[in-house]
Structure 1
Amino acid sequence: MPRPLVLKVTCAQDDPERANQAFTVAAAAVAAGAEVSLWLTGEAAWYAVAGRGPDLGLAHAGSVEDLLGVVLDGGRVTVCTQCAMRRGIEADAVRPGVRVAGAAVFAEEILADGVQALVY
């Protein structure tokens, strides 16, 4: 069994290749059977709201909506509390399956035994 993976994506259209890489790796890890926790921070917080995440417009890249769907189905997705608040994203506006949590929860996840953490 692969070790747990925690990914934090901090960008969206401001750095589309990096953002798409984060969603691609998260979905691939879910498909490989890993326990995956994907954190949406910075501009990526918009993906916590259905229909609000920007299309990254990358050729030869999977759709973020599809990749996020894989992670929602087989992993855990969290939007950063402060990032959501700065963007006016209310807890009741996030898509089903996305939780709102802050730095303490993130720190707890990445400090657990055997966890691999990646930041994009």
Structure 2
Amino acid sequence: MRSLLPLLVATLVAVTAFSAPGADAAWTPIANPRSLVIRQIGNFAVIVYSNADPHRMRPLALVNVVRGETQPAGSGITDYRLVLNVRNTATGSTGLYQTVVRGRPGTRAKTWELLSFVQYKQAI
């Protein structure tokens, strides 16, 4: 029995490592990227990014969410990878940005986190 214990522990560790939520979870396309919830997440990303530097506010506004994907991050938290159409309100120009936002649906804004916000480069 003693010789089986290390094997059992190693097996449990391996199973836990490979089944942990968000470890290598696949991104799942969002069926309706224009839904109110997804639009609110996109708007959150634009507002946080616009106000990230108090010395250089960016005059940006969300036009629409072009597409998006979700991925579980564990403990009921979800990562949202969105492609946003964003307008510079000072110049009127628009551009596409890819953002990743992490949060738990149904919670307050302060529990959400902007992980990235970069200009979107479409694959050719």
Task: Report the TM-score, using the length of structure 2 for normalisation.
Answer: 0.23
Work out which structure has the larger RCO, using CA pairs closer than 8 Å and 6 or more positions apart in sequence.
Answer: 1
Task: Report the TM-score, using the length of structure 1 for normalisation.
Answer: 0.24
Select the structure that is richer in strand.
2
Select the structure that is richer in helix.
1
